[in-house]
Amino acid sequence: MAERELDGQSFDVVVLGTGLEEAIIASEAAAGGKSVLHIDRNPYYGGAYACFTLSALIEWAVCHRDYRQVPIVEILVNSEGEKQQQKLTDQPTFVIDKNSREIAAAFIAESPAASRASEALHRLAPFATNNTCTEKTDSATTTLLAFLQNDRNYQIELAPKVALCRGRMIDLLIDSGIGEYVQFRGVEHNYLVRDNGVERVPESKEDIFACTTLSLIEKRKLMRVITSVADNEQSRRIVEETGNILFDKLLREKFKLDGKLLDAVLRCVARVGMNENVNAAEGCERIQRYVSSMGRYGRMAYLCGLYGAGSEITQSFCRMCAVSGGTYILSKNVSVQPANDNGGFTISLGSATVQAEKVVMDPTYASTVTSGIVLSRAICILDAPVLGDDTTALATYVDNGGVVSLLYVTQATMAVPKGKSMLYAWVEGGLSENKNLLCHAISATCGTAIPLITLFMETHLLKASSSATADIYFTNGPDATVDLDNAAVAANNIIELLLK
C-alpha cells in the first residue's frame, strides 16, 4: 500500500518486524477481528528466521543485519575447492565487520542486483584472514564465486529449527489451517556425535532391541527409562520419591546411566544443554513429549520444513494475515511515539503517519536494548551427503567440554542440490570461546566429507530496555532450542493480551 493511502489511518494493532512470533501474532490478531498493519524495515520476510540463497545471505551480512543482534559474521572457504580436505582453522576467512562492511556496502549499493554478492566478495578479499598468500585468497574467492552461479539451489536459514510432532507449533498450524500450506518431511535419525565417531540413538523399543552396538545390560537400562519416564503416573511417583532432584542426577542414580547412554537420553532425547539445570519433573516431561510425538506422523519425533521451516511458516502466517485483511509494508523505517496521555501511539513511516491502539515489536525496533542469551552458530556446506543423500537428521555433539546441537539437511528438504549436504551447528555462548568447539563438532560429524563453505556468526537475543509504556509488547528472537514450540507459546501469550 502506498504511503499516501496509509496517511491518517488508525489500526487496532501495528506489528513491527516479520519474524516468526510477529507473523503469528499479526495473523491471529487479524483473524480475531483486529485491524492490523504489519511493517518491516527490511526488504524480506522472516527477520531473524529468514532463509536466503548464498548471494542473498552475503548481501544480508553486508547490508541488512542489525549489528546489535549479529555483531560477528565470518565466511570460511576451502581454497582447495572439492580437491582435498582442509582444516576449518586453516581456511581463508572473509571477516564482515564494521570496517569491511562499510567498504563492501558502498559498492553493493551501486551494483545491479545480480552482481551484488560477487562485488561484495571482491571488496572483502583484502580483509581475508589466514591468507598466507594472495593465491590462496584468490582461490577462495573463485570457489565462492562458482557457488554464486548456482546459489538458488541453496536455501540457508539464519536460525534452523524443527517441529515436534506433538508440539505447540504443529497444533497451531493445524488449528489455524496454515498447516495445509507448509510442507514437511520427517527427521529420520537422531545421532550422538563424539570425536571418535557418529552413533545413531535408538529411539523406540524396536530400535533398542535391534541395536547391535548396545550390550544386553545397556538395552535393559534404556528400556527401563522409556517405560518408566514416559508413563505419567510412574514418572510422577519417581519425582516425588527422589525429591525432584536434577534430571541428570536422576538418570545417574535412579537408572544407573553413564557414558554414551547418559548422553543419549540427557542430550539427544531430553535436549538438556551443558549449563542447563533441568529438574526431574521437567526432564521427565521432555522425554514424554518426545516419546508421544513418535507415531503421529510416522516413527519420527520431529518434522523438518521444506525450503526452510521458520521462513516458510513465517510467510504462511503473513499470507493468512493478509487474507484476513492485514496490511503489509516492507523496506520502511518506522518510529513509534505515544499519541497522548489517553493512550495509543503515533507511527511515522516516511511521509505517512498512522495511529495505533497497541504495538507489537521485535526488540530490534526498540531505541535501547540489552543483550540477553548469546548463541554461536555455524552453517557448513559439504561436498557430499555424509549422513545419507535423501534424509534429514538431528545430532548432538558431546565432547571437549561442550554440547552442540546440529541439524543435517540434504536435497530431501530442497535446501541443497543433489550430491551436497548442509550442516547447521549452534551452542550457547560467544563465538570467541566457542568457535573451536563448533569446528570440532563439524569435523566429527562430517567425517571424510569436505567442508566447502562455512559461515560463523554470533547472535544476541535482544531485550528491550524496561519501559513503563503500556500496550507495547516485545517479542523474542530464536533461542537455543531445536524446535519451534517456544516461539508458538510466546506468540500465544501476546495474542491473549491483544484479544482481551
In this prediction, residues 311-339 reach a mean pLDDT of: 92
- pLDDT of 425 reads 98
- 3-48+305-368+464-498: CATH, from 3.50.50.60, 3.40.228.10, 1.10.3470.10, 3.40.50.261: 3.50.50.60
Q: Range with the lowest mean pLDDT among 245-259, 331-345, 355-369?
A: 331-345
- pLDDT of 105 reads 63
- 204-293: CATH, from 3.30.70.60, 1.20.1440.80, 2.120.10.30, 1.10.405.10: 1.10.405.10
CA 43 – CA 395 distance, rounded (Å) = 33
- pLDDT of 417 reads 92
Phi/psi at 36 (nearest 5 deg)?
-125, 135
- pLDDT of 106 reads 59
Write the pLDDT tens digit of every residue in 378-429.
Answer: 999 999 999 998 899 999 999 878 999 999 999 999 999 999 999 999 999 9
| 371 confidence band (pLDDT: 50, 70, 90) | confident
Q: What percent of the chain is modeled with pLDDT above 90?
A: 60
- pLDDT of 117 reads 63
In this prediction, residues 270-287 reach a mean pLDDT of: 93
**66-156+371-461 matches 3-48+305-368+464-498 in CATH topology:** no
Residue 259 pLDDT > 60: yes
- Write down the domain spans for the chain: 3-48+305-368+464-498, 66-156+371-461, 204-293
- pLDDT of 132 reads 46
Q: Are 398 and 419 in contact (CB under 8 A)?
A: no
Q: Range with the lowest mean pLDDT among 84-98, 229-243, 295-309?
A: 84-98
Write the pLDDT tens digit of every residue in 31-79.
Answer: 999 999 999 999 999 999 999 988 888 889 888 899 899 999 998 888 6
CA 479 – CA 475 distance, rounded (Å) = 12
CATH topology of domain 66-156+371-461: Guanine Nucleotide Dissociation Inhibitor; domain 2 (3.30.519)
In this prediction, residues 124-147 reach a mean pLDDT of: 63
pTM of the model as a whole: 0.92
Residue 88 pLDDT > 80: no
More confident residue, 280 or 124: 280
| 275 confidence band (pLDDT: 50, 70, 90) | confident
Q: What percent of the chain is modeled with pLDDT above 70?
A: 88
Write the pLDDT tens digit of every residue in 433-490.
Answer: 999 999 999 999 998 898 989 999 999 999 987 655 789 999 999 999 999 999 999 9
Write the pLDDT tens digit of every residue in 155-171.
Answer: 999 999 999 999 999 99
Residue 342 pLDDT > 90: no
